[in-house]
Structure 1
Amino acid sequence: MRDNLRPDPPARTLRPAYMESYKEGFVEDTAGYIHSYDMAHVLMLGERGILPAETALGVLAGLREMDRLGMADCRRKAGGGNHAGEAWLTEHKGAAIGGAIGLARSSGDLSAISFRMYARHTLLELRKGLVELRAALVEFASRHVDHVLPGNTHGQHAQPITFALWAMMYNDALARDCARLGETIARANHSPAGAGIMSGTEFPIDRSRIAQLLGFDSVLTNTLDAALSHDLEMEFASTLNMLCYTLSRMAEDLFLWNTTEYDLITLPDWFIGISSMMPQKRNPDGLQDLRHLSTQAQATLTMVMGTERGPTGFPIIERRNSDRSLRQLARALGERLAILPDLLHDMEVKSARAESHANLYWASVTDLAGALVRQNRIDWRRAHGLVAGFVRDCIAKGQPPYEMSADDFNAYASRSGALKITLDEAVFTRALDARAFVSRRDTFGGPGPEAMDHAISQATSALAHERQALQALETTLAKAQENLLATVDTAVKGQRFV
């Protein structure tokens, strides 16, 4: 009977290989922030007398030596993931120095503060990239104020618009994405350091001092919240997801215009791919890549949201996968933002063909109905019905708008029983002209020349102010880092804490 039984498996002594991926490893994106936190934490411990001055100064001297040798390389070789500073110090300065750095903090402090520092920096860089893309859209709009094209709804020609109105639409949409990035930066810029893993520490640390040294606006008050609430990751993913959807929609528009059937734009050679078999094919590879970014963003958001489900303190290991996905998405987004201004500059707009299409499929007849209301003083719905019938009749007969005249319309109105409704030729012709249609829409926010000039001027001013605000934040963070290093160096050189 025993021969038919499954043999006992050998006793395992090693962890499964896949579990190694969940260990804290070296992360290039956050190593510098952890290193800064190491210095700020130990500087605070020394200033407060929590660590003996000699020990704290020894730790700080070692951390600055890592800077001179190449911080990232030192941390990478030392191992230990987020605790690489301790590992390097222990190896090179001894256990008494290395072991001191972990006093009054936990791995939770390291991961929480490094993510917040990473988030504010990354979102700041993305926001700068967005500002440059918006500036390129405004510049594109200024070159195409008079270039008319058909606007679509339901995939059908709706009304004439301009390439400028299209570009300014995306400037405005991306401005909202910029604002969302800014709001996320503001919420990220609060220090969780000193929360420990949930309840802080019994040592009399100064959490505000660490926040000041690292350029944070303030401290997250509740230690349990600071350590184990991770809504920032969800907000980070959500904000990037919405931004990617805006960029994906822009790519979809350009993708459609680039098709052989539309043929409204020509993409630059550097943004296309050539078929390996068909030498005539100019595949819009760059646009397809940009369209797919929203899929990656949605997948990342789903992963982050799924990871954060559960009781407080349960999701820990799983977060390493979702954090990795977030960093990959942010990196991919930054790379694409960097090239989109060049695309807008180098892309050819076929304005003559676009205007021809805007005039070809009755896109301006809303204004024909409007002319009936003004000249014949009839209600809008009756005018709308007359124009709809006239257009249906012309399409059925294969007659395009440029072949029709006011006499044709008046004859149709008479046949329809509207004997007293007439239009003169000048009004009829102008009502059906796409360029005239656009010029009549000079109300605030519209595509008319004066309205568009105003929109471009307002956007240019707004971008200048936003650049100043971003520069101010960047300067504040840079000065905080400079002050941290200067304070550490002063303490090490003078062998005392002020």
Structure 2
Amino acid sequence: MNLRSGRLKGQMKGEVADFTSSLEFDRRIFQADVRCNQAHTTMLIEQGIIPSDIGKKILKALDELEKEGITALKLDSAVEDIHMAVENYVTSKIGPEAGFMHTAKSRNDQVATDLRIALKEEIEEIEKELLLFIKITIQMAQNHLDSIMVGYTHLQHAQPTTFAHHLISYAQALKRDYGRLYDAYHRMNLCPLGSAALTTTSFPINREQTAKLLGFSGPMENSIDGVSSRDFIAETVFALTLLGTTLSKISEELIIWSTYEFRMVELADEFSSTSSIMPQKKNPDVAEIVRGKTAVLNGELVTILTIIKSLPQSYNRDLQEVTPHLWKATDTLHSALRITREMLASAEFKDERGEELARANFSAATELADLMVKEGGLPFRTAHQIVGRTVSTALDKGMKAEDVDAQFLDDISQELTGKTLGIDESIVKKALDPQEIIGSRKVIGGPAPSMVQEVIDNLREFVDNPS
């Protein structure tokens, strides 16, 4: 069928047809388009809008097309889009009566429906991958409840913590990423079909029925909004972009931690490469590629927002150009998600090195200040000053944290405040022990193994019942 043979006199030039065609990325909505036509035709039959015998022939042809797949279609730019390709296929099977299939609908509401169907399926798959990622992460945390490491701020030694506590920070970020996709899914789960071009139709269609047949929670309640809204795409890509940011941060830490200077993680060989000239190298190439590829998501999001930001209601052909950026974003995220999960799962955490770093460079300093508040009755700012001076003096003298004792603290306190602290030596040593420090952090969200275990249990419940 040639749509141009009515209103328009001439054919579109080949180059122009190629430029305006959406067929290349319409392939992603082929199955959704067939389902959309099946549901709409079924409703037309039920409502008595088209003859039942013709409707059944249309459905039979659509069923055949569904089995044969997209290769059964003639796809070239002269066809314009997937919707006309499908209609042409049905026409080739049953003749002009195939035109009844398009009664009371437009390509405008059809593509809007197809996109929601296809994107919902993409989100469902990503959600499954995310839950598996969280499950693997909490299992790794379970195995490292007592594995001491140093936590960082500004990439400088900060306070002692555990690998489990750090891994759970990944799991919590991934859980929020899941929540954003879950919310986006449920906001898009309304059906535009029946909006037609923009003002619905005078035919007595049943929009509740087509929504039900297509797995939506109901129809969209404004037909102009139905054909023109693409905020569900922008929202989804935003959620994917934040998820990509989470993956990039995980990859960044694996890159840093696998360096000789840190030596906290050993990446599996299958996620590493070597140098073409330096035979000793083991490069974290996969993590670096994840870090680079996830940047694509930021670009796709900005492009989508830029396309839709100045469009008047309702349908404009510009909306066609949103779609390839959506699929580029979902494909990029999907592969990065799987690879990052497998890479993290294969990583070997170096417990001895983690503890070595935790015991170095005065990461217990905050606990010392807290000790002076609890045992010496000092204001925290005064304690902060004494400990700061203690650290700088110890470093000048080449001392390690374990070399600091009660007398050393008294000397510093006397110098700064004119008073000694009088804290028992055993208490000072306890305050300088990373294991003791971690065990004392029995606050919600803290690194004490008992608190991390509670969070692991909560996350397991979430993975088992995420809705």
Distance in 1 (CA, whole Å) between partners of 2:74 and 2:245 is 36
Indicate the residue corresponding to 2:4 in structure 1.
none
Structure 2 residue 47 is the aligned partner of structure 1 residue 38: no
TM-score scaled by structure 1? 0.87
Distance in 1 (CA, whole Å) between partners of 2:274 and 2:61 is 54
Task: Give the SS at the match of 1:443.
Answer: coil
Indicate the residue corresponding to 2:50 in structure 1.
51
Task: Give the SS at the match of 1:191.
Answer: coil
Aligned length: 454
Indicate the residue corresponding to 1:72 in structure 2.
70
Indicate the residue corresponding to 1:455 in structure 2.
455
TM-superposed CA distance for 1:150, in Å, is 1.3
Task: Give the SS at the match of 1:218.
Answer: coil
Pairing of 1:197-276 with structure 2 (within 5 A)? 197-276=197-276
Indicate the residue corresponding to 1:94 in structure 2.
95
Task: Give the SS at the match of 1:318.
Answer: helix
Residues 323-365 of structure 1: per-residue CA shift (max 9 Å, x gap)? 1121121122122222333323321111111111111111111
Distance in 2 (CA, whole Å) between partners of 1:241 and 1:266 is 28
Structure 2 residue 282 is the aligned partner of structure 1 residue 282: yes
Task: Give the SS at the match of 1:282.
Answer: coil
Amino acid at match of 2:85: A
Structure 1 residue ranges, 4+ long, deviating more than 4 angstroms after superposition: 76-80
Indicate the residue corresponding to 1:5 in structure 2.
none
Q: Which structure has the higher relative contact order (CA within 8 Å, separation 6+)? A: 1
Indicate the residue corresponding to 1:15 in structure 2.
13
TM-superposed CA distance for 1:374, in Å, is 2.1
Structure 2 stretches lacking a partner, 5+ long: 1-9
Indicate the residue corresponding to 1:82 in structure 2.
83
Distance in 1 (CA, whole Å) between partners of 2:109 and 2:133 is 36
Segment drifting more, 288-297 vs 302-311: 288-297
Distance in 2 (CA, whole Å) between partners of 1:276 and 1:289 is 18
Pairing of 1:263-342 with structure 2 (within 5 A)? 263-313=263-313, 316-342=316-342
Structure 1 stretches lacking a partner, 5+ long: 1-11, 470-498
Distance in 1 (CA, whole Å) between partners of 2:124 and 2:279 is 42
Is the Cα–Cα contact under 8 Å of residues 275 and 282 in structure 1 kept in the other structure? yes
Task: Give the SS at the match of 2:359.
Answer: helix
Is the Cα–Cα contact under 8 Å of residues 119 and 188 in structure 1 kept in the other structure? no
Segment drifting more, 27-36 vs 329-338: 329-338
Residues 440-482 of structure 1: per-residue CA shift (max 9 Å, x gap)? 101122100111111111111121112xx4xxxxxxxxxxxxx
Alignment RMSD (CA, Å): 2.0
TM-superposed CA distance for 1:111, in Å, is 0.9
Distance in 1 (CA, whole Å) between partners of 2:371 and 2:299 is 51
Is the Cα–Cα contact under 8 Å of residues 30 and 118 in structure 1 kept in the other structure? yes
Distance in 2 (CA, whole Å) between partners of 1:355 and 1:368 is 19
Task: Give the SS at the match of 1:150.
Answer: strand
Amino acid at match of 2:402: Y
Amino acid at match of 1:92: K
Pairing of 1:169-208 with structure 2 (within 5 A)? 169-208=169-208
TM-superposed CA distance for 1:251, in Å, is 1.6
Task: Give the SS at the match of 2:23.
Answer: coil
Amino acid at match of 1:280: Q
Indicate the residue corresponding to 2:3 in structure 1.
none
Distance in 2 (CA, whole Å) between partners of 1:348 and 1:113 is 46
Segment drifting more, 17-26 vs 436-445: 17-26
Indicate the residue corresponding to 1:399 in structure 2.
399
Segment drifting more, 83-92 vs 354-363: 83-92
TM-superposed CA distance for 1:100, in Å, is 2.0
TM-superposed CA distance for 1:93, in Å, is 2.2
Distance in 2 (CA, whole Å) between partners of 1:352 and 1:345 is 19
Residues 37-88 of structure 1: per-residue CA shift (max 9 Å, x gap)? 11111111111111112211111111112233x1222235585422222111
Indicate the residue corresponding to 2:5 in structure 1.
none
Is the Cα–Cα contact under 8 Å of residues 198 and 314 in structure 2 kept in the other structure? no
Distance in 1 (CA, whole Å) between partners of 2:18 and 2:411 is 82
Identical pairs, percent? 27
Is the Cα–Cα contact under 8 Å of residues 44 and 210 in structure 1 kept in the other structure? yes
Amino acid at match of 2:57: G
Distance in 2 (CA, whole Å) between partners of 1:191 and 1:180 is 20
Residues 409-428 of structure 1: per-residue CA shift (max 9 Å, x gap)? 22333344534323332112
TM-superposed CA distance for 1:16, in Å, is 6.6
Distance in 1 (CA, whole Å) between partners of 2:262 and 2:137 is 21
Segment drifting more, 270-279 vs 411-420: 411-420
Amino acid at match of 2:247: L
TM-score scaled by structure 2? 0.92
Distance in 1 (CA, whole Å) between partners of 2:285 and 2:23 is 34
In the superposition, relative to structure 1, how do residues 367 and 344 fare at CA in structure 2: closer, same or farther (>3 Å)?
A: same
Segment drifting more, 280-289 vs 355-364: 280-289
Task: Give the SS at the match of 2:317.
Answer: coil
